Amino acid sequence: MMIGFLANRDYFPIFPTGQTSSALAGGWAFFPSISQHNPGWLLDRLWHLAAPVICMTYGGFAFLSKLTRGSILENMSSDFVRTARAKGQNERVILFSHVLRNSILPLITVSASILPGLLGGSAIIENIFSINGMGKMMLEAINVRDREVVLSITLVISIIGTVSLLIADLCYVLADPRVSYE
């Protein structure tokens, strides 16, 4: 739908239909040049990658926002929030210091698994938008039975998954002072 409506000349030609840069972008400077009237390689690359990034992250943001909303509503009716209101604290302090800090814990847990999931979904997005990337290379390696490429991409994806779990554990320490890894 993104290509059909937002990259179609008949509707709204906002985004390009595919690839990661224009054909002329190889000769452009990195940053935009006003005197030569070209957008520059960086802006051209960002413009070409905007639609695939929106397609990959939209579902994750929708899920995370629904999870955050539910967690905040659950914590707003907790005893510690009523106690803070009874003490006369400002609503903004209650929301950001008490409620958000406790509501972010399930968000950290789910966010750790989203990054490896994005890598798995990238194969579909790369095929749709004609982008040569790791997902497309993985599918081609599976089709031609190239074990070394499949194993190396699997290793990279597993390392990224492990690092995202490590970052989630470190974020637990920052979000909840009761958690300690000593």
Q: Please write the tens of the pLDDT for every residue from 82-133.
A: 999 999 999 898 888 888 888 888 889 888 888 878 877 888 888 888 888 8
Q: From CA 68, how far away is CA 108, in angstroms rounded?
A: 10
Does 63 reside within a domain? yes
Note the pLDDT of residue 142.
Answer: 92
Please check the confidence at residue 151 and state whether its pLDDT lies above 90: yes
3-state secondary structure of 41: helix
Does 19 reside within a domain? no
Q: How many domains does the chain have?
A: 1
Note the pLDDT of residue 35.
Answer: 63
H helix and E strand count, the chain:
7, 0
Does 62 reside within a domain? yes
Note the pLDDT of residue 12.
Answer: 76
Note the pLDDT of residue 36.
Answer: 65
Note the pLDDT of residue 50.
Answer: 83
Does 22 reside within a domain? no
Please state the three-class secondary structure of 100-133 as a single string: HHHHHHHHHHHHHHHHHHHHHHHHHHHHHCCCCC
Write the pLDDT tens digit of every residue in 49-78: 888 888 888 888 888 899 999 999 998 988
Secondary element (H or E) of residue 4: helix 2-6
Please check the confidence at residue 141 and state whether its pLDDT lies above 90: yes
Does 28 reside within a domain? no
Write the pLDDT tens digit of every residue in 5-53: 777 777 777 777 766 666 566 666 667 666 666 677 777 778 888 888 8
Q: Which domain holds residue 88?
A: 40-175
Does 30 reside within a domain? no
Question: Is the overall model pTM greater than 0.85, yes or no?
Answer: no
Does 8 reside within a domain? no
Note the pLDDT of residue 146.
Answer: 93
Does 117 reside within a domain? yes
